[in-house]
Structure 1
Amino acid sequence: MGRMLTLLKKNRSVSGILILMLLSFSFAMFQGGFISWFIFYTFLPFAVYAMILVFYPLQAFDVERKISKQECQAGESVEITLIFSRKNRLPLLYMVVEEELPIDMTKRTLLFPGFKRSFNLTYTLDSLPRGEHFLHAVRFSIGDFLGLYEKEATMRSPMKITVFPTYQELNYKHLEYVFTQGQVGSSKKRQREHSVVSGIREYQPGDQLSWINWKATARTSEIMTKEFEEQRSHDTLLLLDEQVSPFFEEAIVLTASLVHALIKRGMDVGLASTGSREVVPARGGSKQRRKLFYQLTKAKATSINVWNGKLQKGIVPSNASVICVITELTMEKLDGLSAFGGNQMTLFCVKSPGDFTSEEKNVKSVALARGMKLGFFEPGHLQNERTEVKANAR
């Protein structure tokens, strides 16, 4: 009895059903006749069904979520199936299933379970944006024929969908020009004990005494030194500018395309960004590619300004190269990149050179004067199946 009173206090719909039942019964008792009793007996099954729903345990439902794939690329579709199961066969007129999705939308569907003990709902999420999307719970509700009573419950069913950034196969005929001999990096002489001699030449200031070829020196009466193979560093650091920009997503696509292209060429690639202190050290292989793609998946545009001399120093070896992907060319960014000292610097800007302002043209000239190499990706061209890049280098 106490449970009934508590239920009546919490739910006015239950009180309304009971009042309607009493009114229809009172009308039949006092009015009498076929019509009044017909009304009462006609209304009674609906009222009883509504009262049964009051005590129907929605927690007895088991909800299982199945997904076609938990990892995909931006723009792809994912199919999700919700499987509902229960132990009894109480007929349910309808069920409203609602799933709050993390992509600014809610999936709401009407089902008609009837006597089924197990039924499912399948829907598709189209054109998923880059990022990590979390599905937490499913909310569903049931009701009676006349809409006198409605009951809802929420079942937790957590799941994560990881949407990696898309990338393009770069059709970049100037890669060999920008990346000398297919390797981005600064050169240095191999140490004597780890080197291969490729020839001899005349002595030059700065040559070490250990490089002197005494036999050739005695034969020519001139000081001759050994010529060593030139070693190029395979280490490359990609630096992503996370400045808020309408072209930020295209900058992500460009960075992912560079990761794919460089690792495909057998190079060691690392990643840093202007909005985060986390730096992924340069390595190669498929595992590194996945790691870098995951970092790009989580990247977000930010208004944090780290170009004014706050870029971390020492995050990349001195003999490695830096490729910076930006959406706007400013003097502040050029000064900030000076933190990398003698590293070979390449700037890729997601902007058409024809859209540059006079100030940006001046900055471009300064960048070239400082020995930086520039490449430009026109907005919208990154959506093509193969992407060409316009290059500008000193």
Structure 2
Amino acid sequence: MTRERATLVIQTLFVLLVIGGAYSFAMFQGGMGSWTIFYFIVPFSLYALSIVLYPLKRMTVSRVIQRPLLGIGETTTVTIRVERTNRFPLLYLAVRDLYCEGAASVTHQETSKLFIIGFQKEVLLQYELKGRQRGEHHFSDVQLEIADFLGWIKKRETIAAEGESSLLIFPETKSIQYVPIGSYHDKGTARSPFSLIKETTVATSVRDYQQGDRMSWIHWKSFARTQNLMTKEFENKRGEHVTLLLDAKSSETFEEQIRFAASILKEAAVRKADLTFLTTDADNDAIGTIAGEGQLRKALTQLARLQPLEEARAKQPNYTVALQGAGAIVIISGNPDALFLRAVLSASRAQPVFCFVVRSGTEPIPDYVERNVRTAKSLGVTVQMLSDEQFERSFQEVAKA
């Protein structure tokens, strides 16, 4: 028997004892005063016993979250609706949403409210939540409580709410400035922005027109000669495609790494970059071409849910497959160990590899991280140490290196 059930049994016995005591007093004492006390107590006692029998579990509880996807600092409204099938008069109904604190904080009203319900069949509880920390925030059940007039009986039930049960808070993002960083063509090398638009200055051949091709790519001379629409083929810029690889191993700067990756992804979506996003967690699929709101939301959702992997239990993806066709490879890590880098370099097929090692503010760099950085440089990886304040100019620093 649970504690709440035991309390309810004790309260019920108390009410029965009150009724029995009042009746005994009236019988033995006699007189109008004694019976008046008894008849005064009976209605309240019977109502208290009806509260014991009231089917609180049959109430329907639903939860609606206005915006189940939030960014840091954004707010959403949570609505709890409680409905019942009868109009039995209740003195009050206390509704409390047992949400778990941590990822979000209440900014307006409270997560509990006391309703003087009477004969009403429906009540609404509303409050606002503000995104505070990235992650997937799961709501608990809703607690309902009713009581009699004199507080003799208090009945509580915890009911699972229908509808939304989680709130996803995207990681915080910062402004990132792209600069030229090791991009090159199939024929010869050139320094150019690593992620941006397709090279359309050098046409190498023509092909049949396909739906979705730009009008500016149509080869009008061929159309005038053959009356068939032909599209120009341009020289492929191998550095145009970028693979962003997030090292998800547990580290002291894991949250900063998440924030840096989210900032790059957001900028890539704005610039319509040909970018593939990948983590070292094999359970997460690679997300290619972060060029629209849908793909960006999918990538940010993955980042919001990502938890640091313990090295002993980490299951890394098959880099030979994951990095197939990759251009420049940009790694974000807190501790780039040699085993991880060798696996990436082996699958990179001589593509340029850059590694941003995120450190925590002005705190000294641990010795084991410094050793791994020296090893990474000896393997031919371009390494750049940076803190949260240096995210905006990170690519500029790499270009100078």
TM above 0.5, yes or no, is yes
- 1:84-233 matches, within 5 Å, as 84-103=82-101, 109-115=112-118, 117=120, 118-135=122-139, 137-153=141-157, 154-159=159-164, 160-170=166-176, 172=177, 175-177=179-181, 180-184=191-195, 231-233=237-239
Q: Could you tell me how far apart the structure 2 residues matched to 1:345 and 1:165 are?
A: 25
TM-score (structure 2 length as normaliser): 0.73
Residue 42 (structure 2) aligned to one of 41, 44, 47: 44
Q: Could you tell me how far apart the structure 2 residues matched to 1:319 and 1:61 are?
A: 56
Give 1:253 deviation, angstroms.
1.2
TM-score (structure 1 length as normaliser): 0.74
Question: Any idea what SS the aligned residue of 2:123 has?
Answer: strand
Give 1:365 deviation, angstroms.
4.1
Q: Could you tell me how far apart the structure 2 residues matched to 1:373 and 1:87 are?
A: 68
Question: CA-to-partner distance for each residue in 1:27-64, whole Å, 9 max, x for gaps?
Answer: 11101245433432332232021122133232453333
Counterpart for residue 245 of structure 1: 251
Q: Could you tell me how far apart the structure 2 residues matched to 1:251 and 1:36 are?
A: 77
Q: Could you tell me how far apart the structure 2 residues matched to 1:354 and 1:21 are?
A: 71
Q: Could you tell me how far apart the structure 2 residues matched to 1:296 and 1:90 are?
A: 49
Q: In the alignment, is the contact (CA less than 8 A) between 2:282 and 2:317 conserved in 1?
A: no
Q: In the alignment, is the contact (CA less than 8 A) between 1:308 and 1:333 conserved in 2?
A: no
Structure 2, unaligned runs of 5 or more = 184-190, 208-233
Question: Any idea what SS the aligned residue of 2:161 has?
Answer: strand
Counterpart for residue 18 of structure 1: 16
Amino acid at match of 2:43: P
Question: CA-to-partner distance for each residue in 1:217-274, whole Å, 9 max, x for gaps?
Answer: xxxxxxxxxxx95733432222111122342122111111111222322222222222
Q: In the alignment, is the contact (CA less than 8 A) between 2:195 and 2:275 conserved in 1?
A: no
Q: Could you tell me how far apart the structure 1 residues matched to 2:194 and 2:248 are?
A: 26
Counterpart for residue 303 of structure 1: 310
Structure 1, unaligned runs of 5 or more = 1-6, 196-227
**Quick check: 1:280 aligned with 2:286?**
yes
**Quick check: 1:320 aligned with 2:320?**
no
Q: Alpha carbons of 1:262 and 1:375: their partners in 2 closer, same or farther (altered >3 Å)?
A: farther
- Alignment: residue pair count: 346
Counterpart for residue 188 of structure 2: none
Q: Could you tell me how far apart the structure 1 residues matched to 2:328 and 2:156 are?
A: 59
Question: CA-to-partner distance for each residue in 1:95-152, whole Å, 9 max, x for gaps?
Answer: 2323232446998624132425132212222334323334363221211133322223
Amino acid at match of 1:41: Y
Question: Any idea what SS the aligned residue of 2:139 has?
Answer: strand
Q: Could you tell me how far apart the structure 2 residues matched to 1:155 and 1:330 are?
A: 45
Question: CA-to-partner distance for each residue in 1:67-87, whole Å, 9 max, x for gaps?
Answer: 221211134332212122335
Amino acid at match of 1:273: T
Give 1:324 deviation, angstroms.
1.0
Question: Any idea what SS the aligned residue of 1:19 has?
Answer: helix
Runs of 4+ displaced beyond 6 Å: 306-310
Q: Could you tell me how far apart the structure 2 residues matched to 1:359 and 1:380 are?
A: 23
Q: Alpha carbons of 1:61 and 1:281: their partners in 2 closer, same or farther (altered >3 Å)?
A: closer
More strand by share: 1
- 1:52-71 matches, within 5 Å, as 52-71=50-69
Q: Alpha carbons of 1:155 and 1:281: their partners in 2 closer, same or farther (altered >3 Å)?
A: closer
Q: In the alignment, is the contact (CA less than 8 A) between 1:135 and 1:157 conserved in 2?
A: no
Coordinate RMSD, CA, aligned: 3.7
Q: In the alignment, is the contact (CA less than 8 A) between 2:265 and 2:296 conserved in 1?
A: yes
Counterpart for residue 373 of structure 1: 382
Q: Alpha carbons of 1:104 and 1:319: their partners in 2 closer, same or farther (altered >3 Å)?
A: closer
Counterpart for residue 351 of structure 2: 343
Q: Could you tell me how far apart the structure 2 residues matched to 1:308 and 1:280 are?
A: 14
Give 1:358 deviation, angstroms.
5.1
Q: Alpha carbons of 1:98 and 1:238: their partners in 2 closer, same or farther (altered >3 Å)?
A: same
Q: Could you tell me how far apart the structure 1 residues matched to 2:83 and 2:367 are?
A: 66
Q: Could you tell me how far apart the structure 2 residues matched to 1:59 and 1:307 are?
A: 44
Q: Could you tell me how far apart the structure 1 residues matched to 2:245 and 2:127 are?
A: 38
Counterpart for residue 226 of structure 2: none
Q: Alpha carbons of 1:161 and 1:363: their partners in 2 closer, same or farther (altered >3 Å)?
A: closer
Percent of pairs identical after alignment?
A: 24
Q: In the alignment, is the contact (CA less than 8 A) between 1:346 and 1:372 conserved in 2?
A: yes
Q: In the alignment, is the contact (CA less than 8 A) between 2:243 and 2:328 conserved in 1?
A: yes
